[in-house]
Structure 1
Amino acid sequence: MGIKASLSKVYAAFNSRKLNRWRKDAVSVQEKTFQKLISAAKDTAFGRDHHFDEIKTYADFKERVAVQDYEDLRKYIDRIVEGEANVLWPGKPSYLAKTSGTTSGVKYIPLTKESLPDQISAARDALLNYIHETGKTDFVDGKMIFIQGSPVLEKKNGVDFGRLSGIVAHHIPAYLQKNRLPSYDTNCIEDWETKIEAIVDETIKEDMRLISGIPPWIQMYFDRLIARADGKRVKDIFKNFSLFVYGGVNFEPYRAKLEESIGKRIDSIETYPASEGFIAFQDQQDEKGMLLLPESGIFYEFVPADEFFDENPTRLSLREVALDVNYALVLNTNAGLWGYSIGDTVKFVSLNPYRIIVSGRIKHFISAFGEHVIGEEVEYALLSVAKDERVEIVEFTVAPQVTPDGNELPYHEWFIEFNKLPEDIELFRSRVDEALQKKNSYYFDLIEGKVLQPLKIRPMQKGAFINYMKSKGKLGGQNKLPRLSNDRAMADELEKYIL
């Protein structure tokens, strides 16, 4: 064991005290975070406009600040982008994280001198917690790769801006820099396919032990590695590869293919980072869900998902949540986001401690006929059948077909890229439909009532979704394929990739 690995165990044991406090006293920590945030922002433009000086309780806050999205906050963020200080948070932000919105175009999310360290420390805590839980430190002495966006930053009215992962790359601790790949020059490559090839060049002969990134883009990296190594599995290319860290999307649809590429099952850590804040990470290898971080500069609110689009939806603090309820996640942060809907839905799988899973996107659902099918349900229906029949799914998405040809009833259309087609595609289709009916009673009623016909599967060409994302300029980085659409915009373009 090297010096770094030995020291990491000591540091991990020390860090575990903080995590244990979060596990035992999360509600109290959240309430202190709330008071701290309100006090800090009371003299900002937003704080004055919403009378933060009069807010004493969470109930006071809800009366003054509505749940809002980027468009609702845009008038304030535009002022920040133009260089104004003390708008949403004291002073000017340290950075503006540039993200792509589906309705807002380019979005700029502020990162402040208070919020960015919370992002960095949460990522560090996830690794330290893993070390303390498992006692495994081998990855510390080898090479680590973080597949991320370009670290090249631009400047806008005195504030640097760029992709979150690129910004974070400038703040990697010095003790990790020698272990970290790819190089700065490779990270700066904008074209994703060129970048992946360069990453393969740099890593294929290295002692890679930790690999981190969004699962579909890690799969693309593995595919290129395997091709370059004449079909060897990743475990034979990187003999000491032992830890996979991921976030951004549900791992389960990608697990079978990734593990087949690796050649063995390895430990993994799920994380929940976003431009708006680092929200949770997996703290137990044998427990479902991620530990919600109560002291990461965020005060959380939870809106029952089926009320989200109501005029006055229920808003709950951490103290009030329940198990197995689909909540829209709302953030109030030390970067100055207030009542901000991040767009994700979460469910609590444990209340002691508070652990969550990401169940979908609040705007990614199918309810063309009142069925309100969500991402968690389609993933369960497909993956449970695929696992039973030993079918590997590469990627998929679902959309409604409201106006089919002829006298057909409408249906849900599933675009699926299989690693290998099921032996009996019709039986596979039928079983997936039955699984979805059992998961969603509204869908069951619509099938039984002959409002909808059972779903249809469209097997896709190899690489179909990569080619689609490439055609939209969204290949790689933090870009993710929506699992569900309530319209045909994406589905109509995917038709050209059907087998």
Structure 2
Amino acid sequence: MAIIGNIIKGVIHLSNSISSEIDHVKNQKEVLNHLLNSAKNTEFGLHYKFSNILLANQPYKLFKSSIPFFNYEKIHVEWWHKLHEGEKNITWPEHPDYFALSSGTTGKTSKRIPVTEEMIEAIKNAGIKQVLAMKNYDLPGDFFEKEIMMLGSSTNLEKQNDHIEGEISGISASRIPFWFRGFYKPGEEISRIDDWDERVQKIAENAKKWDIGALSGIPSWMELMMEKVIAYHNVDNIHDIWPSLRVYTTGGVAFGPYEKSFKRLTGKPVEIIDTYLASEGFIALQTRPETDAMQLLTDNGIFFEFVPFQPEYINQDGSLKPDSPCIAIEDVELGVDYVLIVSTVSGAWRYTIGDTVQFSDVKRAEIKITGRTKFFLNTVGSQLSVNKMDDAMKALEDQFGIDISEYTICAKRAEDEEFYHFWYLGASDTSLNAAEVANALDESLKEANKNYKVARSKALNGVKVKLIDSEVFYDWNARNKKKGGQVKMERVMNEEKFKEWEDFVQNH
């Protein structure tokens, strides 16, 4: 009998049974009040008169009319750069102990996003909420005694004068509570290895020593790790090494493009639980198996706002135009794409993290990530978001019986001076007729998106496809020193970046 596991499971059920239904609107009003109160005497709070906002009859109305939208470049130039000069009380009280490095998918140089102690506590609280949500899943008692493989960035963080730097997954893993360390794999020693390939090699060598019940990490790197373990031990699938594996906690990107290849690697069914942890904070997590949508964490140090995702509100670089309409959670609607705006206990204010979301259940505050503002392809009016592209990849997988785990696209003129969409697909079978695949992709997008269909009848002349090995995508990220961790592939590239990409592929 897994006595300890059943005790934990019982506590989880008890914790959930005594909790009342969540009032997300009330939560958000309280979070906004807390943020304003906490930061009212900072330079930012004094500049934007937070004390006046707190006294207003409609605080949110004055809040959004007083404070502009910020992206990383704007808030760094105007405010956060002072933190790197040793100043404190800038956008949040005192000075942050950590900075999360986040080059993401769109920048060559790392962003440095402040991470305060209050944010670290909020991330821990989100982790606890995730464990408590397990009561909604049909898991045996002994699952809660199994080990968890957390595949993130290196926990070998870098000391910089008065703070510590690293990716958010590395920061979080370095601060795991003592009682959890016995469950945490690959363990502190291996997790500190900076080199991705060396770290995965060590995981493969030690894999049989561990009884893994859950995996956690970005899908592309998790798949590479599993492939390495499977090959090292010469087995058919990962369950031959970790027979207790029952849960995979994914995040960072949509899981859809990886679903087929992931199932092939696991060999047996695994519960897929989605999470939304960004460098700016733990935003949402999946709380029930009936849906793959995630519930916004409305009581955990982040205030959310939403701008309808329309081309007229978005600048070319993905930032928001200053006069874009913005609403709070009480006014959102089902089925509308919104640009997500956050204000946080790390001192981010009305900050665009670059993601677009859609509500699938307003009362439960459940969302799905639908794309990136910078990855929105609107050249010649095609209006393609990442979720539409992901759906098209699934259709191709079904039609041609292949796996497509990675892809990238650029809209540009060809030699005939006409506009085309140029696609590179990381396919499990690269011998297929590329012209046939291009035609099927074109038809799928026409059927799914009326704006694309209109564009194809006018300025967009067609689709060109090249099929390449998925490994090329991973090597591209490695070349840019972005292998492993929170790294995601660019789904949409501008022409300058695409030229670099094509040169890389040609010389690979």
Counterpart pick for 1:62 among 54, 61, 64:
64
Counterpart pick for 1:404 among 403, 414, 428:
414
Counterpart pick for 2:463 among 436, 455, 470:
455
CA distance in 1, matches of 2:437, 2:107: 35
For residue 292 of structure 1, report the CA deviation from its aligned partner: 0.9
Answering whether residue 29 of structure 2 is matched by residue 31 of structure 1, we say yes
Q: Is the 8 A contact 1:50 1:65 kept in 2?
A: yes
Answering whether residue 89 of structure 2 is matched by residue 89 of structure 1, we say no
Between 1:383-392 and 1:204-213, the stretch displaced more is 383-392
Answering whether residue 74 of structure 2 is matched by residue 72 of structure 1, we say yes
CA distance in 2, matches of 1:369, 1:344: 22
Q: Is the 8 A contact 1:97 1:161 kept in 2?
A: yes
For residue 187 of structure 1, report the CA deviation from its aligned partner: 1.2
CA distance in 1, matches of 2:505, 2:4: 49
Counterpart pick for 2:489 among 472, 481, 484:
481
Q: Which amino acid aligns with 2:191?
A: N
Give the corresponding residue for 1:381: 392
Answering whether residue 21 of structure 2 is matched by residue 21 of structure 1, we say yes
Counterpart pick for 1:338 among 338, 349, 362:
349
TM-score computed with the length of structure 1 as normaliser: 0.94
For residue 261 of structure 1, report the CA deviation from its aligned partner: 1.0
Q: Is the 8 A contact 2:2 2:141 kept in 1?
A: no
Between 1:206-215 and 1:75-84, the stretch displaced more is 75-84
For residue 182 of structure 1, report the CA deviation from its aligned partner: 1.1
CA distance in 2, matches of 1:496, 1:169: 33
**Can you list the C-alpha shifts for 1:152-197, whole angstroms capped at 9, x where unaligned?**
2333342222221221122212222112111322111111111111
Answering whether residue 244 of structure 2 is matched by residue 235 of structure 1, we say no
Any gaps of 5 or more consecutive residues in structure 1?
none
Counterpart pick for 1:223 among 220, 223, 227:
227
Counterpart pick for 2:145 among 100, 121, 141:
141
Give the corresponding residue for 1:299: 303
Give the corresponding residue for 2:317: none
CA 1:89 to 1:132, structure 2 compared with 1: closer, same or farther past 3 Å?
same
CA distance in 1, matches of 2:486, 2:471: 18
CA distance in 2, matches of 1:321, 1:104: 34
**Can you list the C-alpha shifts for 1:67-87, whole angstroms capped at 9, x where unaligned?**
111111113212122222211
Equivalent residue of 2:483, what SS? coil
CA distance in 2, matches of 1:488, 1:137: 54
Q: Is the 8 A contact 2:136 2:287 kept in 1?
A: no
Answering whether residue 22 of structure 2 is matched by residue 5 of structure 1, we say no
CA 1:86 to 1:69, structure 2 compared with 1: closer, same or farther past 3 Å?
same
Equivalent residue of 1:463, what SS? helix
CA distance in 2, matches of 1:392, 1:28: 44
CA distance in 2, matches of 1:274, 1:428: 34
Q: Is the 8 A contact 1:288 1:349 kept in 2?
A: no
Q: Is the 8 A contact 1:142 1:207 kept in 2?
A: yes
Give the corresponding residue for 2:39: 41
Between 1:231-240 and 1:269-278, the stretch displaced more is 231-240
For residue 284 of structure 1, report the CA deviation from its aligned partner: 1.2
Equivalent residue of 2:287, what SS? coil
Q: Which amino acid aligns with 2:36?
A: I
Give the corresponding residue for 2:101: 98
For residue 460 of structure 1, report the CA deviation from its aligned partner: 0.7
CA distance in 2, matches of 1:189, 1:494: 31
CA distance in 2, matches of 1:408, 1:85: 54
Counterpart pick for 1:153 among 157, 160, 184:
157
For residue 127 of structure 1, report the CA deviation from its aligned partner: 2.4
CA distance in 2, matches of 1:269, 1:263: 18
Between 1:79-88 and 1:270-279, the stretch displaced more is 79-88
For residue 135 of structure 1, report the CA deviation from its aligned partner: 4.5
Identity, in percent, stands at 29
Equivalent residue of 1:134, what SS? coil
CA distance in 1, matches of 2:3, 2:95: 40
Any residues of structure 2 matched to 1:273-284 within 5 Å, and which? 273-284=277-288
Equivalent residue of 1:285, what SS? coil
Give the corresponding residue for 1:466: 474
Any gaps of 5 or more consecutive residues in structure 2?
315-319
CA distance in 2, matches of 1:18, 1:483: 43
For residue 373 of structure 1, report the CA deviation from its aligned partner: 1.4
CA distance in 2, matches of 1:27, 1:123: 22
Name segments (4+ residues, structure 1) moved above 6 Å: none
